Amino acid sequence: EADIYQTPRYLVIGTGKKITLECSQTMGHDKMYWYQQDPGMELHLIHYSYGVNSTEKGDLSSESTVSRIRTEHFPLTLESARPSHTSQYLCASSEGGVGRYGYTFGSGTRLTVV
């Protein structure tokens, strides 16, 4: 049973709309991450957080923003969706020291912008 939840699983939305992808975890993990992954392609880190009120940009430039007001919640927002944002977005979390447990991933949100 997944301990990290992403909603919605699938989203089709028009260009210019504002959207928020939700991610919640019940494990009390301090660290959370957002990855973008096109089909058959590698993972790209777009945002991460080491705790409440801490957010950092990842390796891939992204027009999205994130917030971390509560430990368990790490939403990602696109102010104005474009077709180039069409992709799968994966949320993950980990303990303070990544150690032997690595990351736990959610099932992802598949976003299509038309």
Partner 1 sequence: QKEVEQDPGPLSVPEGAIVSLNCTYSNSAFQYFMWYRQYSRKGPELLMYTYSSGNKEDGRFTAQVDKSSKYISLFIRDSQPSDSATYLCAPHAGNMLTFGGGTRLMVKP
Site residues (CB under 8 A) for partner 1? Answer: 40-43, 48, 88, 90, 92, 97-108, 110
Distance of closest approach, residue 99 Cβ to partner 1, in angstroms:
7
Residue 84 main-chain phi, psi, to 5 deg: -65, -15
Distance CA 1, CA 25 (A): 12
Provide the 3-class DSSP secondary structure of residue 14: coil
Per the CB < 8 A criterion, the answer to whether 74 and 52 are in contact is no
Distance of closest approach, residue 59 Cβ to partner 1, in angstroms:
10
State which residue, 90 or 113, has the beta carbon closest to partner 1. Answer: 90
State which residue, 15 or 61, has the beta carbon closest to partner 1. Answer: 61
State which residue, 78 or 90, has the beta carbon closest to partner 1. Answer: 90
